[in-house]
């Protein structure tokens, strides 16, 4: 089936915004086959009945490349605790934080987890997303991690969105392994990865003083490599353990958070081609004061992606456009960098080469906005002027 879209401002994201003011796109099945000015549509496509986009802005479908949307319960009470002075680390050490979500997630069956996750997925989709990455990491047993990964796969089966799964059993050390993080890696993290055959697209870990050391993460990454799976890493969020350098050494798709990233980590990521995933939602929610080194990453040519980091504790956000505004306001990223961060660079952070731009040969995943210029998407605080999406060449009903 062929489809001609016309009368729109295209932000192709090829060479900056890649703007085409009066643009047209030809789609065959789920692939873009031609992009250009409306008056130059080539034959035989120029005889197709055009779908008028009303002069709206059209961008690549947005990509949320770091989320934790499968979980049980909520942590509103901890939000209140932090406002009363408790730090993220203090909440975690008191048995709250990730571990409180672990308890609720273990108690929930797959249907409960799926029902809750679909609500969050729908909110992200309503903000223009056509691809979402989802991590496990709230089960922390072999069976519960596999349960979470099965739920993630089901989200993609039930919604018009591409869903990628990330194994994150190395997210926290559960109480029954307190003081035995090495044993947890050997007895839960690695075995759950091996047990989740066919359910995992990438492997992640939380490299931090309250979680896992670089040495422990390295063993997990070696297991991932043995299974032919790419890796990524929560790194340098609360301190500099040189996790980004470890990630780069393993050719990681991305290193995420990065508030305490030093120049040696920046250089290692640049050399390895590892994407920096910037997560302003957690910075904002935790009221952190040290931003990631945006200027250093920019100067080194490290691609910077953005994501919601949607999770129950440190980033209960489902709006990518809000994240874009936060990145610009809090971190001084430009609106162009912000849009690249949720399109081109977010695709790269997931190892996807078939999306993130509007160009021939790529997937026909598009977002249609009630806007005229792409800077509006970062300018509006929390507003989502989405008109519709096109997923795999199909217009939203």
Q: What is the DSSP string of 305-344?
A: EE----BTTTB----HHHHHHHHHHHH---HHHHHHHTTH
Measured distance CA(192)–CA(166) in Å, rounded: 12
Closest by alpha carbon to 48, among 61, 59, 34? 34
Using DSSP bridges, classify how beta strands 2-11 and 50-60 pair: parallel, antiparallel or unpaired: parallel
Q: Please name the residues in contact with 277: beta carbons below 8 A apart, sequence gap of 6 or more.
A: 65, 66, 232, 254, 255, 256, 257, 258, 304, 305, 306, 307, 346, 349
pLDDT at position 16 is: 95
Is the omega angle on the peptide bond into residue 44 within 30 degrees of 0, that is, cis?
A: yes
Give yes or no for residue 74 having a pLDDT over 90: no
Run of H or E including 21: strand 19-28
pLDDT at position 180 is: 98
State whether 305 and 267 are in the same domain. yes
Q: Which of 349, 371, 387 is the last residue of a domain?
A: 349
What is the SS3 assignment for 240? coil
pLDDT tens per residue across span 25-46: 999 999 999 999 999 999 989 9
pLDDT at position 388 is: 97
pLDDT tens per residue across span 185-213: 999 999 999 999 999 999 999 999 999 99
State mean pLDDT over 292-299. 98
Using DSSP bridges, classify how beta strands 254-257 and 2-11 pair: parallel, antiparallel or unpaired: unpaired
pLDDT at position 95 is: 64
Q: What is the DSSP letter of 192?
A: H
State whether 154 and 248 are in the same domain. yes
State whether 55 and 71 are in the same domain. no
Mean pLDDT of the chain: 96
State whether 51 and 106 are in the same domain. no
State whether 50 and 144 are in the same domain. no
Is the model more confident about 391 or about 313? 391
> Which range has the worst mean pLDDT, 1-15, 90-104, 134-148, 277-291?
90-104
State mean pLDDT over 289-312. 98
State mean pLDDT over 160-166. 98
Domain count along the chain: 2
CATH number at residue 361: 2.30.40.10
State whether 130 and 275 are in the same domain. yes
State whether 117 and 261 are in the same domain. yes
Measured distance CA(46)–CA(198) in Å, rounded: 43
Q: What is the pTM of this model?
A: 0.96
**Structural domain for 101, as ranges:** 62-349
Q: Which of 333, 349, 365 is the last residue of a domain?
A: 349
Using DSSP bridges, classify how beta strands 232-235 and 202-207 pair: parallel, antiparallel or unpaired: parallel
CATH number at residue 89: 3.20.20.140
pLDDT at position 255 is: 98
Whole-number percent of the chain with pLDDT over 90: 89
Give yes or no for residue 242 having a pLDDT over 70: yes
Measured distance CA(34)–CA(28) in Å, rounded: 9
pLDDT at position 286 is: 87
pLDDT at position 167 is: 98
pLDDT tens per residue across span 249-284: 999 999 999 999 999 999 999 999 999 999 999 999
State whether 18 and 152 are in the same domain. no
Give yes or no for residue 297 having a pLDDT over 80: yes
State whether 32 and 123 are in the same domain. no
State whether 41 and 148 are in the same domain. no
pLDDT at position 397 is: 60
State whether 379 and 312 are in the same domain. no
State whether 42 and 67 are in the same domain. no
Residue given tokens 């490349």 in the structure block: 65
Both tokens of 249, joined, read 């050494």
Residues in the chain, total: 397
């Amino acid at each position: 089936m062929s489809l001609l879209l016309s009368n729109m401002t295209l932000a192709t994201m090829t060479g900056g915004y890649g703007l085409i003011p009066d643009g047209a796109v030809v789609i065959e099945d789920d692939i873009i086959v031609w992009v250009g000015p409306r008056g130059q549509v080539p034959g035989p496509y120029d005889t197709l009945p055009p779908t008028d986009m009303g002069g709206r802005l059209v961008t690549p479908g947005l990509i949320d490349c770091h989320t934790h949307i499968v979980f049980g319960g909520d942590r509103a009470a901890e939000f209140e605790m932090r406002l009363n002075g408790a730090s993220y680390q203090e909440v975690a050490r008191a048995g709250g934080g990730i571990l409180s979500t672990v308890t609720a997630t273990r108690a929930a069956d797959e249907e409960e987890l799926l029902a809750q996750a679909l609500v969050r997925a729908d909110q992200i989709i309503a903000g223009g997303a056509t691809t979402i990455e989802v991590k496990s990491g709230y089960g922390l047993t072999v069976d519960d991690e596999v349960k979470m990964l099965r739920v993630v796969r089901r989200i993609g089966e039930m919604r018009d969105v591409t869903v990628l799964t990330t194994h994150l059993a190395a997210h926290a050390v559960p109480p029954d392994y307190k003081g035995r993080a090495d044993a947890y890696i050997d007895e839960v993290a690695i075995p759950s990865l091996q047990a989740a055959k066919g359910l995992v697209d990438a492997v992640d870990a939380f490299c931090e003083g309250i979680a896992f050391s670089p040495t422990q993460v390295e063993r997990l990454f070696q297991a991932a490599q043995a299974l032919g799976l790419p890796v990524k890493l929560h790194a340098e969020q609360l301190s500099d353990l040189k996790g980004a350098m470890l990630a780069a050494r393993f050719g990681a798709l991305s290193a995420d958070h990065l508030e305490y990233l030093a120049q040696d980590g920046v250089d290692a990521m640049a050399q390895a081609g590892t994407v920096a995933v910037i997560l302003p939602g957690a910075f904002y929610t935790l009221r952190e004061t040290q931003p990631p080194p945006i200027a250093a990453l920019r100067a080194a040519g490290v691609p910077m992606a953005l994501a919601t980091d949607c999770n129950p504790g440190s980033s209960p956000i489902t709006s990518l456009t809000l994240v874009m505004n936060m990145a610009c306001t809090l971190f001084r990223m430009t609106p162009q960098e912000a849009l690249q961060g949720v399109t081109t660079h977010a695709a790269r952070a997931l190892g996807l080469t078939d999306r993130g731009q509007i160009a021939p040969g790529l997937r026909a995943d598009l977002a249609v906005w009630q806007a005229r210029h792409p800077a509006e998407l970062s300018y509006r605080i929390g507003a989502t002027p989405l008109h519709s999406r096109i997923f795999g060449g199909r217009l939203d009903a």
